[in-house]
Amino acid sequence: MIKVRFCLLVLMTILLFGLAACTEGVDDASQPAATAALTRPPAAPSLSPSPTAFQQFSYDKFIDALGQLDRRLRVEQEATYAGYCLPQPGRREAILAFTADAENMARTYLEGQPLAVYVSVSDRAADYPVAVLNAAVPVETERLFKMGFDVMGWTDDCLNRVVLTVIAPAEVEAALVAAGESLPPYVELVAGSMVTPES
């Protein structure tokens, strides 16, 4: 009986020492990983900029914002504003033109604004403000109409001109000479059909 108890005591002692050894090994093995996790430097932030209001301008929003700026300039800078040009319709790109003080206009109306990403100011001074051109369209079309010519007119901001479309420009020019009249320097005659989609 004594031998049995002694054997059980020895067996329990061996088991306890073995368990302690295993536990110690597990703790020692996991300690470097835990320490590494605590001392590991944080991941470097991404260098890619997050989307901003500037980058999120859809083409429709671009056109809407450009139209608002155009209307504002026609009122506030009527004497010098010459309109805007879309070099390639469908792209978010526009060029504003002024007859004078273009650099100051760029600072005043574009600096720090979302449109500044897409809109620039021409460094070449325009010849005529858009207000003058727009006012000339009905005057010149009416004059040629009274002379018996079919005519369509509009303002071309990219060319900074009034464009009058007639069937035969040479006949119009001859009629003007015969009447002792001439077109303003900012009016251009071009040949074209008078047929419109509505007709």
Domain-wise residue ranges, the chain? 59-121, 130-191
Tens-place pLDDT, residues 137-149 = 999 999 999 999 9
Q: State the average pLDDT over residues 104-129.
A: 94
- Cα–Cα distance measured from residue 91 to residue 89, given in angstroms and rounded to the nearest whole number: 6
**Which band of pLDDT confidence, cut at 50, 70 and 90, is reported for residue 57?**
confident
**Which band of pLDDT confidence, cut at 50, 70 and 90, is reported for residue 6?**
very low
Structure confidence at residue 194 (pLDDT):
73
Structure confidence at residue 80 (pLDDT):
97
> Is 94 in contact with 106 (CB distance < 8 Å)?
no
**Which band of pLDDT confidence, cut at 50, 70 and 90, is reported for residue 13?**
low
Please say whether the dihedral angle defined by the alpha carbons of residues 142, 143, 147 and 149, taken in this order, is positive or negative. Answer: negative
Structure confidence at residue 167 (pLDDT):
96
> Is 83 in contact with 102 (CB distance < 8 Å)?
no
- Cα–Cα distance measured from residue 113 to residue 81, given in angstroms and rounded to the nearest whole number: 19
**Which band of pLDDT confidence, cut at 50, 70 and 90, is reported for residue 195?**
low
Is the pLDDT confidence value at 4 over 50? no
Is the pLDDT confidence value at 31 over 60? no
Predicted TM-score (pTM) of this structure: 0.69
Structure confidence at residue 55 (pLDDT):
55
**Which band of pLDDT confidence, cut at 50, 70 and 90, is reported for residue 27?**
very low
User: Starting at the edge strand that comes first in sequence, how are the strands of the sheet with 119-121 ordered?
Assistant: 81-85, 94-98, 119-121
